[in-house]
Amino acid sequence: MIEVEGLTKDFGARRAIDGLTFNARQGEIVGFLGPNGAGKTTTMRILTGYMPPTAGTAKVVGFDVTEQSLEVRKRVGYLPETVPLYNDMTVYDYLKFMADLRHLAEAEDRVLEALEVVNLLDRAEGYIGNLSKGMRQRVGLAQALLHKPEVLILDEPTIGLDPAQIIEVRKLIREIGKERTVLLSTHILSEAQQICDRVLIINKGRIVAEDSPEHLQSRLAGAQRVSLRVQGDADGLESSLSAVNGVQTVVARPDGTWEVETIPGIDTRPQIARAIVQAGYDLLEMRAMGLSLEDIFMELTREEPEPPAMDETEAEQVEPEPEQETVEEE
Amino acid sequence: MRNLWTIARREYKLYFISPVAYVVAFLFLLVIGYFFFSEVTTAVAYSMYYPTAPGVEILISPMVTLILFTMPALTMRLVAEENRTGTMELLLTAPVKDWELVVGKWMGSFLFALTLLAATFIYPIVLNFLVDPGIDQGLVFSGYLGLILMTGSLLAVGVAISALFSNQVAAFFVSLALVLAVWIIRPAASATGTGSDVLSYLNLVDHFLTFYRGTIDLSDVVYYLSLTTLGLVLGTVFVEIRRWR
Ligand SMILES: Nc1ncnc2c1ncn2[C@@H]1O[C@H](COP(=O)(O)OP(=O)(O)OP(=O)(O)O)[C@@H](O)[C@H]1O
Ligand SMILES: [Mg+2]
């Protein structure tokens, strides 16, 4: 549904995106993850026909975004990052206007339907200028859904929403993503984890990793770590823990908890628990600490040249290109 | 066609909640009304010395001046405000062609200006009752046709200027400066002597003179229509340039 190849966009001398290549299939929810200025919005603006790319091609529902821009725009629903809306129109009038621009049959019904989906029917007659930020966000979302588009492009869709609405919107996106294609950007990693089938981590205009959230986590988490707390004095604990098969390091942390690192692939928690009890200690708490998506994200988009902390499995690193002025380390 | 109407209708409605549009409407109806009233009362007072009855000229000439100075206020917002607030992103990602956007906005402003012109039509009608044997209807027709054509071209130029800016005040002053420029083209042309034909051809008001005399010259009609087209084409180009920026 979305096919992007070698997409590049320059703003004057600044290269905002640099040879992006990715695909999104029908019924797939793809998350765009990356720090500020990574090029997420720029990519989305090209895909929605707002601006042409400097180089490369992008196809949406089989239509080229530059050559057949109108065809693309007919089939895409877009929620821009800034959620631009006409403050001097009522919610209903605004959506009706956008529906008319799309030549929708039964525009009134479509508008009411979209308002119901985003839970804003009671504000239909109110002016957009009087809405709260989260409500504006929902109006923007309703606009993107009006024509039941085949491809939905959402730039930070849940920003500014209250927790209840965040849950609603995520549910909605998952629902839509069952038959249609959704490309969304977010800074909330747990959100990407919850709703996306696949995440693209993008940094300085390049894709640095691309996989399902679970795969990224398991692939990049080299070792597994377990955090423990035992009751009272635990002097001899270190030696008992080290004796457990599969345990690599044992570290006593100043707050009284213990951190055990084990070899990847096997779960040693039962053995560790048994060892503690057999050694005569009372186990209060045990927690597995996977490498979070946050850690992975920080790892992949880190600025300063630093050796990789604990693993060499950054298989997704793009090949370094000498002509780029950005400092890329291996 | 449908998109033009959708866009034009939104703009037209917006004028009725816009303070600027009310100021323009106020100027149109009250200032023209004042001119009308004072001309008529003067004519009545001096009728024994100057027995000629006032004609529609007393309305048409202040309207030309008013149109020149107020049309930029009607167009300044049209595209510049969308550029400023970012709503342009909505329109440029909707399935609407760039020219439809520009022409639709122009149509909206044109319809509003036509509404104002229609409202001023009350004065010729009143005048028709006041003077004997009635006013020159040919002059009313040609005068209003000329006003409509001039208004259309000024609005088209205004839309183009508005598309260049993301600040409506800047768009207003640049449009106004342009109007002043075509206003003073003729004196400048006669001063320099050379090229005066070309310069006076460009003069927006000169082309109105035939209409003002009660005649319709096709070349003047063509002039205003060409200027309108030029404005709309330029406006479309300016919108396109913004995409590529
Ligand atoms: N219209 C523009 N003119 C000039 N530079 C631009 C323009 N739009 C974006 N850029 C630049 O392109 C780069 C990518 O910006 P972009 O908005 O795509 O980032 P992003 O990933 O969406 O960031 P964020 O998470 O903050 O939204 C930035 O360096 C930005 O300054
Ligand atoms: Mg962005």
Return the minimum-mean-pLDDT range out of A54-63, B135-144, B217-226.
B135-144
- A280 shares a domain with A134: no
Closest CA to A51 of B88, B87, B242: B242
Q: Give the closest residue (by CA) to ligand 1 atom 25.
A: A36
Res A326: pLDDT: 41
Tokens matching residue A195: 């709703």
Number of domains chain A contains: 2
What's the pTM value of the predicted model, to 2 decimals? 0.82
**Closest CB to A86 among B3, B87, B95:** B87
- Which of A195, A218, A241 is the last residue in one of the domains? A218
Ligand 1: which atom is nearest the Cα of residue A39? 18
A98·B97 Cβ contact <8 A: no
**Interface contact B10, partner A, CB < 8 A:** yes
Q: Is residue A269 part of a domain?
A: yes
Q: Is residue A299 part of a domain?
A: no
Q: Is residue A330 part of a domain?
A: no
Return the minimum-mean-pLDDT range out of A17-26, A280-289, B100-109.
A280-289
- A227 shares a domain with A211: no
Res B58: pLDDT: 80
Q: Is residue A298 part of a domain?
A: no
Interface with chain A: mutation pick from B93, B168, B245, highest number of A CBs within 10 Å: B93
- A138 shares a domain with A87: yes
Q: Is residue A309 part of a domain?
A: no
Number of domains chain B contains: 1
CB A137 within 8 A of CB A83: yes
Collect all residues with Cβ–Cβ distance below 8 Å to B8 and sequence separation of at least 6. B104, B105, B107, B108, B111
- A276 shares a domain with A127: no
Chain A neighbors of B93, CB-CB under 8 A = 48-50, 73, 76, 78, 80
**Interface contact B19, partner A, CB < 8 A:** no
Domain, as residue range, for B239: 2-243
Res B236: pLDDT: 96
CA A18 to ligand 1 centroid distance, Å = 13
**Tens digits of residue pLDDT in B51-73:** 666 777 888 888 888 898 899 99
Identify the band that residue A314 occupies on the pLDDT scale cut at 50, 70 and 90. Answer: very low
Per DSSP bridges, beta strands A151-155 and A283-289 are: unpaired
CB A286 within 8 A of CB A271: no
CATH number at A274 reads 3.30.70.100
**Cα dist. A236→A240, A262, A273, A280 in Å?**
7, 19, 15, 10
Domain, as residue range, for A273: 223-290
Query: What is the identity of the amino acid at A208?
Result: V
Closest CA to B232 of B86, B64, B88, B79: B79
- A264 shares a domain with A204: no
- A237 shares a domain with A196: no
Closest CA to A163 of A139, A190, A198, A185: A190
CATH number at A191 reads 3.40.50.300
Write the ipTM: 0.88
CA distance A95 to chain B (A): 12
Return the minimum-mean-pLDDT range out of A72-86, B117-131, B194-208, B224-238.
B194-208
Please state the rounded mean pLDDT for residues A288-309.
61
Q: Which of A301-305, B47-51, B105-109 has the highest mean pLDDT?
A: B105-109
- Mean pLDDT, chain B, as a whole number? 86
Res A329: pLDDT: 39
- A258 shares a domain with A122: no
